[in-house]
Structure formats: structure tokens, C-alpha cells
């Protein structure tokens, strides 16, 4: 499934491939949900790193959804 979506799917090909591969895994084996969460954290931190945002811990990405204010210092460090 992932290979077919990656080769034949519309852009963004990798996104469609991952989403559909995870959907097939969840339908085939519900225990695959245990794989989906770490994979989404890995993809999120990887995409953030491409954009220049680095997380020391992956838990910070999960806690960021509750943030109301984000403060920058002079060097651009988020606190």
C-alpha cells in the first residue's frame, strides 16, 4: 500500500503513503495503533528539524498543543 501510494499517488506522495499504510495496519491489526503514535511523533519532530526547530524531548511536541504563549529571546530560542 505504501509503495503504491508513494509511486502512483498525488503530491505530497510521502504523506499519502504514510497515512494509507497506517490505515491498513490499523484495520488489519489494531495493535498497530501502538506504532502510529511514535511514528507520528517521529515525523513531527523530523519536519520541525527541517524547518529549523529542534526539540530536546519528544514530549515537548505533545505539550506544545496546550501552549497559549510562545516567547522568543534575542537569539531566537523558544522558551
Residues classed as catalytic: 73
Distance CA(29)–CA(37), nearest Å, equals: 15
Amino acid at each position: 500500500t505504501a509503495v503504491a501510494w508513494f509511486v502512483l499517488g498525488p503530491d505530497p506522495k510521502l504523506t499519502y503513503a504514510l497515512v494509507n499504510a497506517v490505515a491498513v495496519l490499523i484495520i488489519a491489526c489494531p495493535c498497530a495503533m501502538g506504532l502510529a503514535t511514535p511514528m507520528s511523533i517521529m515525523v513531527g519532530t523530523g519536519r520541525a528539524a527541517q524547518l529549523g526547530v529542534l526539540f530536546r524531548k519528544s514530549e515537548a511536541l505533545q505539550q506544545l498543543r496546550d501552549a497559549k504563549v510562545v516567547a522568543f529571546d534575542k537569539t531566537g530560542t523558544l522558551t
